[in-house]
Amino acid sequence: MSRRKTMNPEPNDPALGDVLVSADRLQRRILGLAAAIAPTYAGRRPVLVAVMQGSAAFLADLVRAWPEPVDTVHVAAESYDGTRPGRVRLTLPPDLRQQVAGRPVLVVDDIYDTGATLSEVCRALEALGPADLRSVVLFLKHRAGGPPAGRSPDWVGFEIPDHFVVGYGLDYRGRYRDLPYLAVFRPVESGR
């Protein structure tokens, strides 16, 4: 395994800061989340709707930890420009209605920051008539401005401080998604 994928972030990358959640803790917590959530859907085979791209790693580990069969669907949400949040843009697959109508639906998202992404995704899914709609986010950020308005997740993996973070699916301009841990990121941006 290359150096940047070990517990200590790339020593030559000045933007990559402390590891907030190690790979081991992530795997243990996801096993615990799957065990805690699955009984809610006993005998009902849920549809897990993953919010791409950030949730790819979480979805892959969550479904493999899940003790029962599940179905998966991807929707895409984009809101960040580098480290700055913006308006949420959703891309839904054309057959989403067939996949979720009348089914128990669990939205799977990587990180809850302002809550805008989860609210938008849930609003779009509600309109398609799921039997019920819940959500799990792996990371919940404690924002400096206090708790966000909007729909809150039903399950949370980790509560983290208000830093921009990368790794375990989360990117900065397309990079760092492959890191198996979550690390603080301090971009060296010019012009601001």
Torsions phi, psi for 98 (to 5 deg): -60, -35
Q: Helices H, strands E: what count in the chain? A: 4, 9
164 binds, among ligand 5GP, Mg ion, none (CB under 5 to 8 A by kind): ligand 5GP
- Tell me: does residue 54 bind Mg ion (CB under 5 A): yes
Residue 109: active-site member: no
Q: Which does 114 bind (CB under 5 to 8 A by kind): ligand 5GP, Mg ion, none?
A: ligand 5GP
# of chain residues touching ligand 5GP (CB under 6 A): 21
163 touches 1 (CB < 8 A): no
Beta strands, E only, the chain: 16-21, 47-52, 71-81, 84-91, 104-112, 132-142, 155-161, 165-166, 182-185
CB of 139 to ligand 5GP, least distance (A): 8
- Any idea what the Cα angle at residue 58 is, between residues 28 and 5, rounded to 5°? 75
Residue closer to ligand 5GP by CB (options 66, 176) is 176
Q: In the block, which residue shows the tokens 């039903």?
A: 154
Q: Which of 14, 10, 26 is nearest to 181 (CA)?
A: 26
Site for ligand 5GP in 52-111 (CB under 6 A): 54, 79-80, 85, 88, 109-111
Of the listed pieces 19-27, 44-52, 92-100, 181-189, which binds Mg ion according to CB under 5 A? Answer: 44-52
Footprint of Mg ion on 162-191 (CB under 5 A): none
Three-point CA angle 75, 77, 78, nearest 5°: 155
61 binds, among ligand 5GP, Mg ion, none (CB under 5 to 8 A by kind): none
Q: Kindly name the residue from 61, 109, 110, 113 that is annotated as catalytic.
A: 113
Q: Is 139 helix (H, G, I), strand (E, B) or coil?
A: strand
CA pair distance 18, 128, nearest whole angstrom? 41
- Annotate each residue in 15-54 with x if it binds ligand 5GP (CB under 6 A) or - if it does not, as one string: ------------------------------------x--x
Of 7-15, 43-51, 82-90, 143-151, the segment contacting Mg ion by CB under 5 A is: 43-51
Active-site residue list: 113
Using CB under 5 A as the criterion, which residues of the chain lie in contact with Mg ion when the complex forms? 51, 54
